[in-house]
Amino acid sequence: MSTFKGIVAEFPQIRIDYFRQQPEHKAPLACFLSHVHSDHLAGLESLRAPFVYCSTATREILLRLEKFHYRINFAQKKLESRTVAYDRSMRKLAKPLPLDTPTSIELAPGNNIQVTLIDPNHCIGAVMFLIEGDGKAILYTGDIRAESWWVNSLVQNPVLLPYTLDSRRLDCMYLDTTFATKSRPYREFQSKAEGIRELLEEVAKYPDDTIFYFHSWTFGYENVWIALSNFLRSRIHLDPYRTRLYGSLSNLDKNSLREAGLKVQSENKFLRESRLDVREAPALCGFWNGNRIQPGCLTSQQDVRIHSCERGMGCPVIDHDKDARVVHIIPIITRVKDTNVEIAELGAGGGKGDLDQKEELETGSALHIEKFMDLCAKSIKDEELLLKMSNLLQEALKGGNGTIDLDMDLATGSQDKEAELSLENLASVLSSHITKSQEVPMNKTIRFPYSRHSSFSELCELVEAFKPKDVFPCTVDEKKWDPELSMRYLFGNFCSGDTFRHDIEMMRIYEAGLEQESLERCVQDETQYDTQSSDGLDIEGISAPLVEQETGFANYLTAPVDALDRRQNMSPESKAAEEPAPPGADHATTLIAAPENA
């Protein structure tokens, strides 16, 4: 999930993918939106100025996005009209730009920047931004899947090609670091093509009358739709909401779209009048082929073999599959080689619930489960049911993600999708979940690897292709950050510069955390000292803890990357030996010793 706060140091007068007010910074003169995944939209609802530049597809989808509880209540006729999130504010502010076309934008009189939008191989409408001006240049990747073929296409792009030369380098690459780690299983991913090939081989094993349900919980699986539809010679059923979203990408009029099988309520007059095209629209929605309409792969018709509609929206095929005849297709991030361990898509990289909403129970830790079961035991007297509930929660905890799909109908409760359940209701839902799982047969499932974000090796290939002066990560967990997640450690060998701004910022936070821990240990040791003294113990051998000590972590900012990489293969004991000395030691040890020739 993106944690980028929108600030581009090289161009402080613009904001990208983060639109909340920041009092410490001046208001922006221009904004940019890379795509419509929810983790890139923070603050957009309340934005009233300036213009927001994006791709054509992003603008059209953005204007039609609806939150889950509004659209399900509209579908159930509890609301008289649709409630869209961004239409009122963004209809005038969102400005579409063509891809691969350098565009001059005036921020203020005499203050211009040049912006080029580039496809990032992530989802429909997504773009990267190459921003140039005043002798500086940055590449903001947004979310990317940097497969080798895609990186090769970038270095052939006439606008980007100059930045592969030694004489002209990007000042900074703002990089999607969702899976930026040298540890397995994120080093290598199967390519998208390999994933689709695996999927097609699996669906080919089923009889010709098999119905498939593809779990497209967010944007980014459009190429899978096209491949499945073509391979099975079947169109794909969408619910009215998704039909409205994807139908808006076509410049066909309403009657033509309906002839193509999409029951839209209106046409996109803006798209037709602006004469801007969305590259994927013909394959998805259809087009004029001579004097007749050639349908795309998407349809509102329900009597097809492939469905990708939202559950709970009234599709008789999916919502009433009591015999579990439908085969479910679920994308995963990757399948680890030699182990067949599957890494599930659980909202990694953002976008969770953009197109689909699942109700899940987060189990927490083993201690949380124990406390929860103690509370349940007071209201549930069926010991066998209690045991099954406990087993269900324990299995979810062992499974790695710690969640259980409750398959609830949120529309029957509060309109607030974050509403809390009472203990009594939660226990009832869990017991019902167990009963259903016993009575209803399980659907067959096909899982295939199809990550929308880059593996670590792919990120290295991208950075190496451009050799930027600096790399700034756009996905960072500050609580878990340590020097082995620094940009210098991960990408330093592939950069033309040797100073990494984000590393310096994080090192200050990291060392402040270490100092706080040291102070807390001081308090504990002083308490122990006082206790031992009052008990008349001999304390002459106890040395006072050192509050201030040189941690040596700054070596991560200057030491050769090869020296840092050595730690990746070290045992925990060896790493511990290089950590700063604990309070009470005579001196502090450095984390990484500088080489003799440094």
CATH code of the domain containing 467 = 3.60.15.10
**pLDDT for 420-429, tens place per residue?**
445 555 666 6
Asked whether residue 258 carries a pLDDT value surpassing 90, the answer given is: yes
* CA distance to 8, 32, 175, 464, per residue, from 470 (Å): 12, 21, 10, 12
**Is the pLDDT at 88 greater than 50, yes or no?**
yes
Confidence tier at 593 by pLDDT (50, 70, 90): very low
Least confident piece of the model among 38-47, 82-91, 106-115, 433-442: 433-442
Query: Which of 87-91, 242-246, 566-570 has the highest average model confidence (pLDDT)?
Result: 242-246
User: According to the model, what pLDDT value does residue 348 have?
Assistant: 54
Contacts (Cβ under 8 Å, ≥6 apart) of 48: 89, 93
Q: What is the pLDDT of residue 429?
A: 62
Question: Could you give the C-alpha distances from 334 to 160, 345, 395, 452, 454, in angstroms and in order?
Answer: 30, 9, 22, 10, 11
How would DSSP label each residue in 485-504? GSHHHHHGGG-S-S--HHHH
Least confident piece of the model among 1-10, 15-24, 377-386, 463-472 = 377-386
- 315 and 370 both lie in a single domain: no
Pairwise CA distance, residues 168 & 497, whole Å: 12
Closest C-alpha to 125, from 55, 217, 225: 55
Domain count, the chain: 4
- Give residue 382's pLDDT: 74
Nearest to 427 by CA among 365, 375, 357: 375
Residue 342 pLDDT:
86
Q: Are residues 280 and 235 in the same domain?
A: yes
pLDDT for 274 equals: 85
pLDDT score recorded for residue 446: 94
What's the pTM? Answer: 0.78
- What is the pLDDT averaged over residues 35-61? 89
Mean pLDDT over residues 182-202, rounded?
94
Lowest mean pLDDT among 297-301, 501-505, 546-550: 546-550
464 domain residue, yes or no: yes
Domain identity same for 244 and 174:
no
Domain identity same for 129 and 150: yes
Are 525 and 546 within 8 A, CB to CB? no
Same domain, yes or no: 199 and 216:
yes
**174 and 205 both lie in a single domain:** no
Is 3 within the bounds of a domain?
no
Residue 355's pLDDT band, with cuts at 50, 70 and 90, is low
Which one is predicted more confidently, 212 or 320?
212
Q: What is the dihedral of CA 383, 385, 391, 394, to 10 degrees?
A: -90
Note the pLDDT of residue 183.
Answer: 85
Same domain, 74 and 42: yes
Q: Note whether 236 and 202 are same-domain residues.
A: yes
Lowest pLDDT segment from 20-29, 72-81, 197-206: 72-81
Let me know if residue 533 belongs to a domain: yes
Residue 597 lies in a domain: no
pLDDT for residue 226 is more than 90: yes
Q: Cα dihedral angle (185, 191, 195, 198), rounded to 10 degrees? A: -100
**Is the pLDDT higher at 23 or at 145?**
145
Whether residue 543 is predicted with pLDDT greater than 70 in this model: the reply is: no
Average pLDDT over residues 226-231: 98
Mean pLDDT of 505-520: 83
Query: Three-class SS of residue 376?
Result: helix
180 in the same domain as 39: yes
Gap between the terminal Cα atoms of the chain:
38
Can you tell me the mean pLDDT for 134-140? 96
Look at residue 390 in the predicted model and tell me its pLDDT. 72
Q: Which residues pair with 136 in a beta bridge?
A: 133
Examine residue 258 and state whether it is found in any structural domain, yes or no: yes
* 587, pLDDT greater than 50: no
Task: Quote the pLDDT of residue 24.
Answer: 87
pLDDT of residue 565: 59
Residue 587 lies in a domain: no
- Among 304-313, 470-479, 512-521, name the one with the lowest average pLDDT: 512-521
| Residue 294, in any domain of the structure | yes
Q: Nearest-CA neighbor of 285 among 384, 271, 205?
A: 271
Which pLDDT does position 585 carry in this prediction?
38
Q: Do residues 243 and 274 share a domain? A: yes
Q: Can you read off the two tokens belonging to residue 458?
A: 């792919």
Specify whether 361 is located in the same domain as 295.
no
Q: The domain containing residue 324 runs over which residues?
A: 192-328
Q: What pLDDT does 521 receive?
A: 77
**Within a domain: 245:** yes
CA distance 32 to 220: 20
